[in-house]
Structure 1
């Protein structure tokens, strides 16, 4: 039984250590977006918050406002671009994940000021859309 446990632990570790090229590119653009937002005066609270309802790329703050940031990359805008890829379904998923985050921190969503920002990376350009949805 210990062997099976060690094997699954090893497989889990080796899987998490190896990343796909698209995930590596995603991480690269998330870091770029983070640096951009830090330069704009936002403060980082957390990267890649994950709960059963979804993931939030960056959680930042400005003043007393929590900023939930979705980072999207597209090589070009031939099919609507990065901003257009955040569908209403994706927005709802982000709202639900943000709700989980607030609950995990013991924050009251009716009293905590929040917004959802989008950082759309297209080619080498960065477009920051504050209060995107």
Structure 2
């Protein structure tokens, strides 16, 4: 097994910019396909932000440094907050469900002593 040098700041910045461009591009595609209907746009945005949240969780799982783990957690949290906001726009009980699921996940994480 070989030991790889830690990633440089530029490579981390490149990854962040790449993920941002990927999300913006995906949002643009879904926005265009939604035919400018508000309900469809909110639903498409919700799908994109769910993907961003999952991507943040995956980044956090494979991260080697503390900075990468924090960046992944920030991406996951911002994606989930956006999903919750879109859920409230679509239907208030759906937004309430998203908040309740976040509380359940936080409680389970605290109950497991912070181990993922």
Name the one with the larger strand percent: 1
Using CA pairs below 8 Å that are at least 6 residues apart, which structure has the higher relative contact order?
Answer: 1
Mark yes or no: TM-score above 0.5. no
Q: TM-score if structure 1 supplies the norm length?
A: 0.28
Name the one with the larger helix percent: 2
